[in-house]
C-alpha cells in the first residue's frame, strides 16, 4: 500500500461523485442495432474519405473510411451488413457531419480474432497495427494514437502513464474496464512500453476506485518476469485529476510547459480504454469499432455500463434500457463537467464517447447567473492558475479580445471555475467566446 | 418517446456547487445577529429599531434605484441587508432615526448602485454611509452613545450620574483621559478586559462584543466564505503597531486593549473581508490587512478621531485594484511568449 495519495498542487474541486448509480454494474453487451451511423470524423484531424459505396456489403472490421491526408485515423464498419447510405448524420457537436450508414445483417456470424504473439513482432509492425485499427484517444480527446506513440526522436521519453483516473462524476466506464479486463490493460501497457522502447509504467487511479486499484495491482504484480516495471498509483479524489497535465504532475512532479506536450517532460499518457484497444489492435488484429460506455443519471430507467458498436444511435440504447424518466431535463454526452448537451437521440456513439448522462432537473443547476461578486473562488479552483473572473467581466463588457493576458489560451475548459462560482456565472461559455475573439 | 420532448442545453459544466450569493450573504447576516441580540440586552430596544431602520432603508434604496435604473431588483440576495446591518453596527445607537435612513441611501445608492451594483463598488458601502454621516453630522455621530441599561448590573463601566464621559466609548476616554481613567471606570484591568471581550461597554451597536464577533467569524472561516488572512493580519498589525508606537516611548503600548476596545473585530472580520473591496489573492490580502491595521493605529494615535478602523478600511479599499494587479494567481505553466 502507498502511504499517501498522490495529487496535483493547485486548484481543483470536489463535485458530487454520483458514481454509485453504475459503478457496480457489470459490463453488458448491447444487442446489435438495426442500423449504425458511423461518422467519418471521430478523431482530432481531417475527416476520413469514404471507401465504400451505397449497397456495398461490408463485414465488421472492414475499413469504410481512410485517412485522406494529414492527421487522422481510419474508420471501420462496426457491424456486418449493407451500406445504406454515404451521407450525413446527426453529429453531437457540429449538428450534422459526413457518415456511412450500415444496415445490419443479423444472420451474419460475428467475426473472430485469433490471438497473435506480439512479442516477436518488430516495433514498426506494432505501430502499423495500431494505425490500421484506427485507434484514437478514446478518453475524450480523440487524438490519433499512432501519432502519439511516435514521439520525435529528440524527446527522451522514459515513462508511460496509463490514465485510469476517471475524475468526471457519473462515468464508470474506465472503472468497469479495469475491474473486468485488467490483464488486457496490463498487456496493452507492455505493448506500448515495447513500442516506446522503455520499461517504466505507472497506472494512475483515483482513490474512489480502490477495488480497481487492487485488481490492477494484483495483475501488474503477477508478471514481472519480462523486465517491465508496472506499478499502480492511487490518486486523491479531486477533479480534474485525470487531466493529462495534472495527472503527470501528480504522478511524477514534472510539469508540462505551457502549450507543451507530455513528451516534453519525457512522458506519454494513454487512457485505460485506449490501452485495451491497443492490446486488441496488436494482439488480436481487431480494429476499434466497439467500446464500453456508461449510460447513467436519474433520468434513465436503468443505468448500465454497455459495450456498444460505434455508430449505435442513442435512441436504440435508450429503448434497450427501458426509456427515459418523465423528469429528464438534459442529456449530456461525456461527463457533467466537460460533456456537451445534445438535443436529439439520433446522435450516434463515436470512438470518443465515454458515456451519456440522462440528468433530471434536480441533478443540474439552471439558476440564473448574476454579476461577479469578486469572491475569488474561481481563482482558487482553477488548476491552471488563470483568472476566469476577469475573463468573464471583460467578455460582458465587450472586451473579449483583450483577455489573453488572463491566461485564456492555457484554459482547457475543465469547468472548475463555473462549478464553484456562487453567482452561477457561465464562465466556460465566456471563455469559449473569448477564445474566438482574442488573439494569442 | 414523444416528439415534442424538449431538453435543456447549456455549456458545461452541468453540475454546480450548492453555494450561491444568497447563501453567502444570508450566512453573514446570521453571523452578525448574536451581536444585535446582545446589544438589545445591554442598550435596550433602541438598537433593534436603529438596525431595522437601517436595513429597511438599504433594501428600499436598492429596490427603488434598481427600478429607476431599469435593472432587475436583487434585494433578495441579502447584500443590501448586510450593508444595512453593518451600517447600523458602526453608528452610535442614540442617533435620530433619519440618520440611518440617510446613511442607507448613501451606502446603497451612491456607493453601490451608481458604481454598477453588486461586485462593482470600489468602497465598502456601509463604511461610506458612516463616513458620510460623520462628515455631515459630526456631533451626533461622535456623542450619541447610549448609556447601558441600569438592569445590566454586571456592567461595571456605568458611572452614577450619566455624563458625556461615562457614555463615551473606551477609545474616547483613552484618547482624552488616559488609561488610568479608563481602568477606574471598570474597577480593575482584568474586569475591563473581561467586559470588553464580552461586549459590556458603550460603543457602536455591533462592535462591542469581541466574543460574538469572533464566533461568527470562525463560522464563516469554517464555511470557507472568508479566509483567516485578512482578519489575522489586521489584528496582528493593530497589535504590533500599537505595541511599538502606542505607549510612552517605543515598545510600551497595550496591544490587547487596542484590539478589544474599538471597532477592530467588526472591521477585521466583517468589513475588511468584503469580497469586492478587498484583494483576492492571499499575499494581497495579508498586505491589505497590515495596511488596515497600520492606518488604524496611525489615525488613533495621531488623528483627530479616537477610532480609525473605518477610514483605514476605506483607504485600503482604494489600493485593492493595485494589490490585485500586483499579486495575481501563479500560472500553472504559461507558454514562453504568452501574453501575461
Percent of chain A scoring above 90 in pLDDT? 85
* Contact by Cβ (8 Å): A331, A341: yes
Tell me how far apart the alpha carbons of residues A221 and A219 are, in angstroms, rounded to a whole number. Answer: 5
Same fold, A31-108+289-360 and A118-283: no
Taking an 8 Å cut-off on Cβ atoms, the answer to whether A405 and B15 are in contact is no
- Which pLDDT belongs to residue A145? 94
- What stretches of A188-286 adopt beta strand conformation (E)? 200-206, 229-235, 267-271
Tens digit of each residue's pLDDT (9 = 90 or more) over A46-98 = 889 999 999 999 999 999 999 988 888 999 999 999 999 998 877 767 777 88
* Contact by Cβ (8 Å): A130, A145: yes
- For the cut 50, the answer to whether the pLDDT of residue B158 exceeds it is no
The domain A31-108+289-360 is classified under which CATH number: 3.40.190.100, 3.90.1150.10, 3.40.50.150, 3.10.20.600?
3.10.20.600
- As a whole number, the mean pLDDT across chain B is 88
Tell me how far apart the alpha carbons of residues B76 and B88 are, in angstroms, rounded to a whole number. Answer: 19
For residue A274, what is its C-alpha cell? 485506449
Q: Is A409 near chain B, with CB under 8 Å? A: yes
Stretch B242-262: mean pLDDT, rounded? 89
- Which pLDDT belongs to residue B42? 82
* Contact by Cβ (8 Å): B329, A387: yes
Q: Domain locations in chain B?
A: 21-143, 151-201, 226-323
Taking an 8 Å cut-off on Cβ atoms, the answer to whether A422 and B17 are in contact is yes
Among partner residues B11, B119, B275, which is closest to A429 by beta-carbon distance? B11
Tell me how far apart the alpha carbons of residues A192 and B277 are, in angstroms, rounded to a whole number. Answer: 54
- Which pLDDT belongs to residue B333? 83
Q: Which of B1, B3, B12 to mutate to test the interface with A (most CBs of A within 10 A)?
A: B12
Name residues whose C-beta falls within 8 Å of residue A96's C-beta, 6 or more positions apart in sequence: A88, A89, A90
- Which pLDDT belongs to residue B209? 85
- Which pLDDT belongs to residue A412? 93
Among partner residues B20, B280, B329, which is closest to A374 by beta-carbon distance? B280
Name residues whose C-beta falls within 8 Å of residue A333's C-beta, 6 or more positions apart in sequence: A92, A339, A340, A341, A342, A347, A353, A355, A356
- For the cut 50, the answer to whether the pLDDT of residue B206 exceeds it is yes
Q: Which residue of B has its CA nearest to A169?
A: B15
More confident position, A285 or B167: A285
More confident position, B162 or B303: B303
DSSP 8-state code for residue A238 = -
State the DSSP H helix or E strand holding residue B182, giving kind and residue range, or none if neither. helix B179-186
- With a CB-CB cutoff of 8 Å, which residues 345-374 of chain A face chain B? 345, 357, 359, 363-367, 370-374
* Contact by Cβ (8 Å): B258, B245: no
- Which pLDDT belongs to residue A331? 96
Contact list in A for residue B281 (CB cut-off 8 A) is 376, 379
Which residue do the cell numbers 459544466 mark? Answer: B13
| DSSP β-ladder status, A75-76 and A95-104 | unpaired
Contact list in A for residue B334 (CB cut-off 8 A) is 258, 407, 410
Stretch A173-193: mean pLDDT, rounded? 96
Stretch A360-384: mean pLDDT, rounded? 94
- Which pLDDT belongs to residue A97? 84
Q: Does domain A118-283 have CATH number 1.20.1510.10?
A: no
Q: Is B139 near chain A, with CB under 8 Å? A: no
Q: Is A159 near chain B, with CB under 8 Å? A: no
ipTM value, please give it: 0.91
- Which pLDDT belongs to residue B1? 45
- For the cut 60, the answer to whether the pLDDT of residue A233 exceeds it is yes
Stretch B238-256: mean pLDDT, rounded? 91
Q: Is B19 near chain A, with CB under 8 Å? A: yes
The pLDDT-based confidence of A220 (bands split at 50, 70, 90) is confident
Q: Domain locations in chain A?
A: 31-108+289-360, 118-283, 377-437
State the DSSP H helix or E strand holding residue A359, giving kind and residue range, or none if neither. strand A355-360
- As a whole number, the mean pLDDT across chain A is 93
Q: Which of A15, A168, A374, A410 to mutate to test the interface with B (most CBs of B within 10 A)?
A: A374
Tell me how far apart the alpha carbons of residues A366 and A329 are, in angstroms, rounded to a whole number. Answer: 10
Name residues whose C-beta falls within 8 Å of residue A208's C-beta, 6 or more positions apart in sequence: A17, A19, A237
Chain-centre distance for alpha carbon B330: 30
Amino acid at each position: 500500500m502507498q502511504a499517501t495519495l498522490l495529487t496535483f498542487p493547485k486548484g481543483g474541486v470536489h463535485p458530487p461523485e454520483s458514481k454509485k448509480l453504475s459503478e457496480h454494474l457489470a459490463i453488458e453487451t448491447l444487442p446489435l442495432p438495426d442500423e449504425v451511423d458511423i461518422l467519418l470524423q471521430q478523431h482530432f484531424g481531417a475527416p476520413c474519405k469514404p471507401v465504400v459505396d451505397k449497397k456495398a456489403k461490408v463485414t465488421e472490421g472492414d475499413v469504410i473510411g481512410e485517412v485522406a491526408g494529414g492527421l487522422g485515423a481510419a474508420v471501420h464498419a462496426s457491424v456486418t451488413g449493407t451500406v445504406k447510405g454515404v451521407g450525413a448524420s446527426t453529429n453531437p457537436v457540429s449538428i450534422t457531419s459526413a457518415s456511412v450508414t450500415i444496415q445490419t445483417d443479423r444472420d451474419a456470424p460475428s467475426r473472430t480474432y485469433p490471438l497473435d504473439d506480439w512479442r516477436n513482432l518488430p516495433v514498426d509492425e506494432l505501430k502499423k497495427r495500431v494505425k490500421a485499427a484506427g485507434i484514437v484517444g478514446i478518453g475524450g480527446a480523440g487524438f490519433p494514437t499512432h501519432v502519439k506513440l511516435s514521439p520525435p526522436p529528440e524527446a527522451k521519453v522514459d515513462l508511460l502513464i496509463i490514465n485510469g483516473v476517471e475524475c468526471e462524476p457519473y462515468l464508470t466506464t474506465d472503472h468497469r474496464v479495469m475491474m473486468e479486463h485488467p490483464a488486457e490493460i496490463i498487456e496493452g501497457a507492455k505493448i506500448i512500453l515495447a513500442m516506446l522502447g522503455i520499461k517504466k509504467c505507472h497506472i494512475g487511479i483515483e482513490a474512489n476506485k480502490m477495488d480497481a486499484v487492487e485488481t490492477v495491482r494484483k495483475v501488474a504484480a503477477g508478471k514481472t518476469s519480462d523486465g517491465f516495471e508496472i506499478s499502480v498509483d492511487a490518486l486523491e479524489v479531486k477533479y480534474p485529476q485525470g487531466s493529462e497535465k495534472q495527472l503527470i504532475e501528480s504522478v511524477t512532479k514534472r510539469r508540462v510547459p505551457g502549450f507543451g506536450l507530455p513528451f516534453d517532460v519525457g512522458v506519454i499518457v494513454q487512457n485505460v480504454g485506449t490501452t485495451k484497444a491497443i492490446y486488441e489492435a496488436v494482439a488480436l488484429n481487431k480494429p476499434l469499432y466497439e467500446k464500453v460506455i456508461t449510460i447513467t443519471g436519474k433520468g434513465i430507467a436503468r443505468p448500465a455500463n454497455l459495450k456498444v458498436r460505434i455508430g449505435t444511435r442513442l435512441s436504440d440504447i435508450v429503448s434497450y434500457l427501458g426509456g427515459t424518466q418523465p423528469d429528464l431535463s438534459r442529456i449530456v454526452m461525456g461527463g457533467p463537467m466537460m460533456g456537451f448537451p445534445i438535443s436529439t437521440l439520433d446522435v450516434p456513439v463515436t470512438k470518443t464517447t465515454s458515456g451519456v448522462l440522462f440528468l433530471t432537473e434536480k441533478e443540474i443547476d439552471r439558476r440564473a447567473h448574476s454579476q461577479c461578486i469578486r469572491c475569488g473562488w474561481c481563482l482558487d479552483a482553477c488548476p491552471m492558475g488563470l483568472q476566469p473572473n476577469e475573463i468573464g467581466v471583460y467578455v460582458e463588457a465587450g472586451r473579449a479580445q483583450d483577455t489573453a493576458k488572463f491566461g485564456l489560451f492555457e484554459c482547457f475548459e475543465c469547468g472548475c471555475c463555473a462549478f464553484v462560482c456562487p453567482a452561477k456565472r457561465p464562465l466556460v461559455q465566456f471563455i469559449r467566446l473569448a477564445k474566438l475573439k482574442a488573439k494569442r | 418517446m414523444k416528439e415534442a420532448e424538449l431538453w435543456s442545453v447549456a455549456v458545461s459544466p452541468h453540475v454546480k456547487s450548492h453555494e450561491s450569493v444568497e447563501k453567502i450573504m444570508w450566512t453573514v447576516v446570521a453571523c452578525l445577529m448574536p451581536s444585535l441580540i446582545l446589544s438589545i440586552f445591554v442598550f435596550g430596544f433602541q438598537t433593534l429599531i436603529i438596525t431595522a431602520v437601517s436595513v429597511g432603508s438599504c433594501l428600499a434604496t436598492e429596490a427603488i434605484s434598481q427600478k429607476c435604473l431599469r435593472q432587475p431588483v436583487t434585494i433578495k440576495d441579502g447584500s443590501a441587508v448586510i450593508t444595512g446591518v453593518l451600517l447600523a453596527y458602526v453608528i452610535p445607537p442614540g442617533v435620530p432615526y433619519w440618520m440611518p435612513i440617510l446613511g442607507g441611501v448613501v451606502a446603497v445608492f451612491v456607493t453601490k448602485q451608481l458604481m454598477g451594483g453588486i461586485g462593482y463598488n470600489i468602497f465598502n458601502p456601509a463604511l461610506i454611509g458612516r463616513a458620510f454621516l460623520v462628515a455631515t453630522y459630526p456631533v451626533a455621530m461622535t456623542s450619541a452613545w447610549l448609556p447601558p441599561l441600569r438592569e445590566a448590573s454586571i456592567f461595571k463601566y456605568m458611572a452614577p450620574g450619566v455624563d458625556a464621559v461615562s457614555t463615551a466609548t473606551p477609545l474616547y476616554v483613552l484618547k482624552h483621559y488616559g488609561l488610568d481613567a479608563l481602568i477606574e471606570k471598570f474597577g480593575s484591568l482584568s474586569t475591563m478586559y473581561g467586559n470588553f471581550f464580552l461586549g459590556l461597554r458603550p460603543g457602536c451597536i455591533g462592535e462591542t462584543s469581541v466574543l460574538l464577533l469572533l464566533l461568527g467569524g470562525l463560522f464563516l472561516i469554517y464555511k470557507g466564505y472568508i479566509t483567516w488572512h485578512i482578519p489575522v493580519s489586521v489584528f496582528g498589525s493593530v497589535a504590533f503597531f500599537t505595541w511599538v508606537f502606542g505607549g510612552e516611548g517605543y515598545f510600551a503600548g497595550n496591544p490587547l486593549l487596542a484590539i478589544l476596545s474599538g471597532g477592530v473585530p467588526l472591521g477585521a472580520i466583517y468589513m475588511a473581508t468584503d469580497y469586492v473591496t478587498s484583494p483576492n489573492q492571499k499575499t494581497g490580502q495579508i498586505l491589505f490587512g497590515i495596511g488596515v491595521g497600520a492606518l488604524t493605529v496611525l489615525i488613533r494615535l495621531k488623528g483627530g478621531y479616537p477610532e480609525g478602523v473605518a477610514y483605514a478600511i476605506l483607504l485600503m479599499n482604494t489600493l485593492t485594484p493595485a494589490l490585485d494587479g500586483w499579486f495575481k494567481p501563479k500560472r500553472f505553466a504559461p507558454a514562453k511568449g504568452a501574453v501575461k
